[in-house]
Chains A and B, each alone.
Chain A
Amino acid sequence: MTPGGTPGVPGVVVVTGVGRYLGAHVAARLAADPRIERVIGVDAPDAGTEFTDLLDRVERIRVDSASLGGLLADLDVDAVVHLALVTAPDAQHGGRSAMKDQNVIGTMQLLAACQRAPRLRKLVVRSSTAAYGVSFRDPAVFTEETEPREVPRGGFGRDILDLEGYVRGFRRRRSDVTATVLRFAPFIGSTADTTLTRYFAQPFVPTVFGRDPRLQFLHFDDALEVLHRSIVEDHPGTYNVAGPGVLSLSQAIRRAGRVAVPVLEPGLSGAAALARTMGFGGYGLDQVDLFVHGRVVDTSRLEQEYGFTPRSTAEAFEDFIRAHHGGVVVTRDQLAAAEQLVLDGIRQVRSAVRERP
């Protein structure tokens, strides 16, 4: 409850996963904060080089997660931001097994290293609202206390449950460290490139027949803001981070001017499994389950503790639409024009009928 108060600003911050979009942006943003002395970006040895220009003020260390332990102790690290999560299997980088290695084993090793870092005061972990699992008996809105009723089918959801379990263990062992777990809703925004943004960027969008899930998005810039505040302020605990408000999937598709193609659910699950075995990942059971059940979280705890409200789901989605107007099939203006056309047609016919007698 001390927004702005800066007793807890750490000197040396380690950010994992800087080879990816989110990690690179967070590291760059922290490096731009004058209160933070050093920002060290940790990355796997084989990570890409797409974000190098963004990271010019960040010290980058390429190391595999097994040898992190000595590194964190040597560097006198004050805070660790763990963002190295893979949300969907990537066939070019080892598929699901590599994803699990990164998400589960990587987190275990990082937490083990953190446990042995004497000066560590703060740990911020990226989690996901997938932590609530999926079940037909789920309440409509998840608060941070809601326990998952069923283990999700999708790999990412299972990884997230494991990850949060490890963080719970870490909290027990190092109660002196301020641990913040941020359960993010799917990111969206003008520049973010995620499974979901690629999905909505198609002109024809597959949906599950007979299901219209309620979705929430988080604007990418708000995610950065929350992560930044988690580092420079003290907010121990677990928080849902999502844009307030809800869009149903059909509504989102219509707002984006796309066309929904309903597919029967068994077909879609099968197709997802097939796509996975054939090696073009992206859509997995995680997505199918999200599109059957939907997922809405309560963000009042975040708003109270951080004194910050992310822009609403609808606004975040609007921002995404503006940036991706390429694949639009039906625009709002076309609909309005069609409406006007019909109305004018009726008026003309009627006035013609009236004038005749």
Chain B
Amino acid sequence: MTGPGQGRDPQGVGRFDVPRRSPEPAPEPARRNGHRPAAQAAPTPADQVDATTSGGTGPAVPDRPGDHWDRKVANGLAFLRRRLSGDYEVDEFGFDPELTDAVFHPLLRVLYRDWFRTEVSGVEHVPVDGPALVVGNHSGTVALDALILSAALHDKHPAHRYLRLLGADLVFRMPVVSELARKTGGTVACNPDAERLLGGGDLVGVFPEGFKGIGKLYADRYKLQRFGRGGFVSAALRTGTPIVPVAIVGGEEIYPMLADIKPLARLLKLPYFPVTPTFPWLGPLGMVPLPSKWLIEFCPPIPTAHLTDSADDPLVVFNLADQVRETIQQTLHTLLERRPDPFGP
């Protein structure tokens, strides 16, 4: 079954094709990819068994093999101390890998694994190193799909790469939300930032539909909206970065939007004001996402290295954007056939 397209990733496929229910999806997978700055003791891979006691403070009593909780407590305390004394690094975009690994990803992991029962396929199409632009469909009234995608990709990918999301400026206008976005590796969706991240070899996630995608009614579910001006394509072209389309099924059902109260949205300066079966009727309870079944499929990368000179050619840009859009739409249809019941197991 090794078609010509899949021939060059033999080691990735076998191991990571069916990671659905691996017994423990590595409580701290990020420790293995060397993303940690030197401050924290050498993160020797896999065998976290005896290596990591609390950061530097020698234990008074030698640890026995069974002292699992001890180590957890010690690690937790060391984490707390590092946080409280500012002993961590953030990059120029404000990304805080330590906080992301220790706090945000574990929370998202519960959500995508246990609540949404997410199945990820095609993760071998995401390169192990070097830049790539991951382009997905957007849905779900709240942009939860972006967060789920980044957490799932991080856990399932052999190199445990971080997906640097590009968000609308509205995200960065809101206090608290803006900082969560920055600390988890997000930044404003603009070409300078995208090109800077790609130029630095990062994996960048973008949702070209924007608010048109997440703010569409339930009746329009899984119909890709317009892709804007294709700014993401020109960013990829300018840096010669491959584009990896990704189709996400399941996001549309978490907050099925039945209506959009436009006057209220205008009043609150929001792009839309959603009415779902539970929101705003049930108040805060309406914020609980419905437990739909999620499927995420990464499609084969579309190379752009040969088109670097055409970054300003609108025809090339639009054609490529259309190709990406078509790929995602097709994949969405096949995924939907695989998932007859939106709330199935």
Contact = CB atoms under 8 A, between A and B. Distances in A.
Interface string A227-257: 0000000000000000001111011111111
A140 B92 contact: yes
Contacts of A253: 86
Contacts of A209: 175-176
Interface stretch (B73-81, B153-161, B308-316, B337-345): B73-81
A336 interface: yes
A340 interface: yes
Contact of A136 (B80, B85, B173): B173
A136 B85 CA distance: 29
Contact of A139 (B77, B80, B86, B192): B192
Contact of B175 (A210, A248, A330, A335): A210
A344 B60 contact: yes
A312 to B, nearest CB: 11
B322 interface: no
B277 to A, nearest CB: 30
A140 B176 CA distance: 17
Contacts of B187: 139-140
A347 B86 contact: no
A209 B174 CA distance: 11
A254 B93 contact: no
A244 to B, nearest CB: 9
A136 B77 contact: no
A343 B297 CA distance: 45
B92 A246 contact: yes
B190 A251 contact: no
Contacts of B183: 212
B196 A339 contact: no
Nearest to A332: B85
Nearest to A317: B86
Interface string B37-52: 0000000000000000
A246 B90 contact: yes
Contact of B93 (A138, A140, A208, A245): A140
Nearest to B187: A140
Contacts of A335: 81, 84-85
Interface string B186-198: 0110101100100
Interface in B150-181: 169, 172-179
Given A136-B172, A339-B77, A214 B92 contact: yes
Interface residues of A, number: 43
B12 interface: no
Interface string A248-284: 1011111111000000010000000000000000000
Contacts of B78: 339
A346 B188 contact: no
A350 B81 CA distance: 23
B38 to A, nearest CB: 13
B73 A343 contact: yes
Nearest to A251: B86
A139 B54 contact: no
Nearest to B80: A339
B9 interface: no
Contact of A248 (B54, B61, B94): B94
A267 to B, nearest CB: 12
B129 interface: no
A140 B193 contact: yes
Contact of B169 (A136, A141, A248, A251): A136
B88 A343 contact: no
A137 interface: yes
Contacts of A265: 175
Nearest to B74: A343
A255 B57 contact: no
B190 A137 contact: yes
Interface centre among A138, A248, A255, A339 (most CB of B within 10 A): A339
A350 B66 CA distance: 13
A146 B190 CA distance: 12
A337 to B, nearest CB: 10
A134 B278 CA distance: 39
Contacts of B81: 335-336, 338-339
Nearest to A292: B175
Nearest to A139: B192
Given A140-B93, A248-B94, A339 B54 contact: yes
A324 interface: no
A178 interface: no
A246 B175 contact: no
B77 A251 contact: no
A214 B188 CA distance: 14
B57 A343 contact: yes
Interface centre among A137, A253, A296, A351 (most CB of B within 10 A): A137
Contacts of B192: 139, 141, 143, 146
13 contacts: A139-B188, A139-B193, A140-B193, A212-B94, A214-B92, A246-B90, A246-B91, A254-B85, A330-B84, A338-B81, A343-B57, A347-B60, A347-B61
The list of the 4 closest CB pairs from A to B, nearest first, reads: A210-B175, A254-B86, A255-B86, A210-B176
Interface of B: 54, 57, 59-61, 70, 73-74, 77-78, 80-81, 83-88, 90-94, 96, 169, 172-179, 182-183, 187-188, 190, 192-193, 196
Given A214-B182, A343-B74, 14 more contacts: A136-B173, A139-B196, A140-B193, A141-B92, A211-B175, A212-B179, A247-B90, A251-B86, A254-B86, A296-B92, A340-B57, A342-B73, A343-B59, A346-B70
